[in-house]
Amino acid sequence: MKNILLFTEKYTIFGIFITILNLGSLFYISNTFWNCIFLFFYLIFFGFYFGQIILPKEKNFWKRFFGIIGIISLFILIQSIIYWFYKIDKSTISFTLILIPILISLQKTHAEDPFAGVENIIDPKLYEQVKSYLSTKMLGIIVFALDLVLFSLLLNRRYTDTLISPWTIFGPKFFILFFFTTFLLLYISQKAKKNAGNLFLIIFHFTLIFTVSLIVFKLGFGFDPFIHQATEKYISLNGLIVPKNPYYIGQYILVVAGHFLTNLSIHSLDKSLVPLFSGIILVLSIYFPFSKKDNTEKNLLPSIIMIPFIMFPAFTISTPNNLALLFSLILTFWIFYEENHQTKETLIFGFLIALTTCVIHPLLGLPIFIIYLMHSIIKIIKKNNLILLSLYSLFLILITPLAFFLNSLRAGEKLFLKNPLENISSFFSIFAHPHWILIERGEWWQKILYYYRDCIKPLAIIMIIIGIYFAWRKWKKSTFTFYFITIISLFISAFFISTTIKFVDVISYEQTAYGKRLLDLTLIFSLPFFIIFWQQIFDLIRKRKTWRLPITLLLAILISISFYFTYPTRDNVSLHTGYNVRQADITAVHFIDKLNNHKKNYIVLSNQLISVTALQEFGFVKYLNTAVGEQYFYSIPTGGPLYQYFRKMVYEKPLKKWMLEAMNFANVNKAYFVHTDYWAPAATIRDEAKKEADHWWELEGGRVWVFEYTK
């Protein structure tokens, strides 16, 4: 054993050189292309060495893949610690970039040279498989070409105006093409054995599935991402944001550091983070452990393709919660790998991922850390102790509610508790279809489609349960006792949070969101058994070749339906009202700002998307002192006092009375009410507001109206 990185001259020189180039990106080089190239080589070089430490016996590809993830996780952890006690800026990023190579240089590796010639770094055998596959397999080439066509259709439909659902601008031809592509991919994957070409095609197809919103919504999709982006912009300018909270730090560090190192905008980095990398991470994280476990690689590729059947909207949008889910997925399948391959080095990587998940989002990170800690203890002592498992289950159930309690004490907030027996309906409401889905309004075929939508998750749970049974029969019973206890404990914890805790400043219809997030984690942890279920199904299909074509057609249809429901829908049945930020919204907030000569001595009552547009454009520039504490000058959060006045304006009547009350509450003399053309009844609210407003303006051809009120 020796330290090649530290004591082999050519690698020491190259490591120093690539580190210096990245330091140059921070302080001197502002070319985005070269900055990205330098960062890529930093991750590849040091990631490969780190991979050599944690997976010395695996192929070079897996060393690179998990090594890069490990380097990113190590960066997040080190920089998060520094941020908590100091701040993040170019000097602290420089320190971390230098510290990481030093830390991994202290670890010894096997005597063989991990960088023996460029051929080992490029690993031509792997890439030759992809090249050979695409040059000789006609169906594979067709699948790749069809996915390219689908990507081009998405790129040609980029939108900056009102768009409730991405599907409203696509006709049936898009879904027919998607179905045909999925069918061909499923068909060829069932005939494949070990083939990097097929794995590449699956990753490419999954990337398409998860990036629809990223591509179509040009200005961004959703609500929460804009708040996080505003925070990241503020941190990039000021080094920190106060008060410092023990959550979301991991994502903020990653995006801000990425911005400094690559010169890419925070908006682009943040919104791309989860959708762009979910396909790669999901496919490779699943494939790796199953390809290493005895008799588990059979039918693996088509089984992975079935993952989108479950619907994972979390992987279509970047938030700390969704990024933490992605890291939780990595750790879930790492645990599966460690069933037969646990070493001291794999434990280092596992705890690194678990701690990184904690600093990204403790709600998911703390349970996943407890899960990994207990699994490691069981593997080390090689015994399932009933008392130990009972304590583990109890702690796993209580860790997230306890975290909420401790955070409320830290923040000086009162935690409101409810009687769980009187609020059981709150938990079951998680499983009901959203209030905006009115199935009775649809045609017969739409009713069938939406009834089936409600059955997708229950069907997936049934498949997982059957998968657990198959796994229990095939492997050690003790192993799956741990999995079973974990799944049940997470489920109980989600129930406990949903029925006992009332969250301050969270609007009523979002009170169960935290319980739902724990259920998402439960589903992620159950995915190995979903894969096992489908492996058994495809094994049956393989034995009965006449079944292959009709069943593959059916499965392609089911995946296409799930793809449709992964994103918001808008039709006769679905009256979804989640809108996107528009160019008209950006025009409105700047119009008001110019009216007041850029002085923020006013309040604005608007829907959350107008408010979050102001947050995106102006940042945390203005807070008002009120009787209940500081409030942003636009009406967010939705559970806050100013938003309640906005609700009165749109749901009762747009009276000056409400605006005066809002001004008195905020201690200002001027207020604006912003109304949009998509908020029904648009014309009625507009005409009523005109009667009592002191001034009003119509912007962007009637897409938005601004009403001014003064004392």
Is residue 146 within 8 Å of 184, Cβ to Cβ?
yes
Residue 258: Cβ-neighbour burial (10 angstroms; 0-12, 13-18, 19+): buried
Q: Which pairing describes strands 416-417 and 501-502: parallel, antiparallel, or unpaired?
A: antiparallel
CA atoms within 13 A on the CB side of 622: 17
pLDDT along the chain (711 residues), means of 10: 59 85 92 94 92 88 94 96 94 95 77 48 54 66 94 90 84 94 94 78 96 90 86 93 88 96 94 95 94 75 95 93 96 91 92 96 93 90 79 91 77 68 73 78 88 92 92 71 90 86 57 81 94 93 88 96 92 76 92 93 92 90 86 87 93 94 93 91 93 94 94 88
Helix H or strand E segment including 557: helix 545-566
Q: Which of 654, 624, 655, 651 has the alpha carbon at shortest distance from 640?
A: 624
The pTM of the full predicted model, rounded to 2 decimals, is 0.90
3-state secondary structure of 182: helix
DSSP symbol at 86:
S
pLDDT for the residue numbered 280: 96
pLDDT score of 117: 47
Phi, psi (rounded to 5 degrees) for 7: -115, 0
Omega prior to 681 cis, within 30 of 0 = yes
pLDDT at 423: 72
pLDDT at 640: 84
**Nearest residue to 355 (alpha-carbon basis) of 388, 321, 331:** 331
Angle at the Cα of 276 (from 271 to 278), degrees rounded to 5? 115
Q: Which residue, 319, 328, 329, 209, is CA-closest to 271? A: 319
DSSP summary character for residue 434: P
Length, in residues, of the chain? 711
CA 433 to CA 425: how far, in whole Å?
Answer: 14
Position 408: which residue type?
S
CA nearest to 231, candidates 248, 214, 215, 246: 248
Q: How many helices (H) and strands (E) does the chain have?
A: 29, 8
Q: Among 536, 556, 541, which Cα is nearest to 183's?
A: 556
| CA 171 and chain centroid, separation | 27
Bin 248: left if φ > 0, else alpha if -120 < ψ < 50, else beta: left
CA distance 288 to 511: 37
CA distance 77 to 67: 15
Q: Could you tell me how far CA 658 lies from the centroid of its own chain?
A: 38
Beta strands per DSSP E along 368-482: 416-417
CA distance linking residue 538 with residue 482, whole number of Å: 27
Contact 66, 84 (CB under 8 A): no
Long-range pairs for 537-545: beta carbons < 8 A, 24 or more residues apart: 538/190, 538/299, 538/302, 538/303, 539/298, 539/299, 541/190, 542/190, 542/299
- Determine the Cα–Cα distance for residues 592 and 102; give it in Å rounded to an integer: 52
Total Cβ atoms within 10 A of residue 246? 14
CA 398 and chain centroid, separation: 24
Q: Residue 77: its pLDDT value, please?
A: 96
Residue with token string 């990039």: 236
Strand runs labelled E in 45-152: none
